[in-house]
Amino acid sequence: MTVAGLVLAAGAGRRYGMPKALVPYRGRLLVQRAADTLREAGCASVTVVLGAAADQVRAAAPDLPATVVNPDWATGMGSSLRAGLAALPATGVTAAVVLLADMPGVSAEAVRRVLAHAHPGALVMGGYGERRGHPVLLGRDHWAGVSASATGDRGARDYLRANPVRVVPVGDVADDTDMDVP
């Protein structure tokens, strides 16, 4: 199975005070760390969805893989997820694993555990005890449904709640804390 990595990094980071894609973290920008995590985990390709400050992000991180600019980034994460998924069909991948740029504690091992369940009909989430979270794997058969339901800052949440999802424990190798404030 061929799986693409998809980094959502388009937001303005209003609560943080700047676009989180530009936030330095342990020697790299958050957006670079997320892309590196997906590459290290074995994704066949990685696409980064940018929006706010896209030109600044590209200038600060020239080593980013393929990028897509979401012109509707201000409407929320849902539009970035739609933009990212829309860029993938031409690649012929089986599934996409989604990672948010502001969750640097999600490890390559956590992504690998989720990737192990990839197939076109897969819906898989990382499990942290009783919580479900990232990484999220979306099989190609679900992209149209996810895109139709992704609105505002909800992303795939409603679709995932309405469909059977495999939860793969990753809490022993990852941290699902997101960086909402400095």
The predicted model scores a pTM of 0.95
Is 177 inside a domain boundary? no
Is 178 inside a domain boundary? no
Is 182 inside a domain boundary? no
Query: Letter for the amino acid at 72?
Result: D
Is 175 inside a domain boundary? no
Is 90 inside a domain boundary? yes
Is 181 inside a domain boundary? no
Is 41 inside a domain boundary? yes
Q: Which of 51, 45, 42 is nearest to 22 (CA)?
A: 51
Exposed e or buried b for every residue in 74-107, given b needs 16+ CB within 10 A?
eebbbbbbbbbbebbeeeebbbbbbbbbbbbebb
Q: Which domain holds residue 121?
A: 3-169
pLDDT digits (tens, 9 = 90+) for 103-115: 999 999 999 999 9
pLDDT digits (tens, 9 = 90+) for 40-64: 999 999 999 999 999 999 999 999 9
The CATH number of the domain where 62 resides is what?
A: 3.90.550.10
Is 179 inside a domain boundary? no
Give the mean pLDDT of the chain.
94
With pLDDT > 70 as the criterion, what percentage of the chain qualifies? 100
In the chain, the number of structural domains is 1
pLDDT over 80 (residue 181): no
pLDDT over 80 (residue 1): no
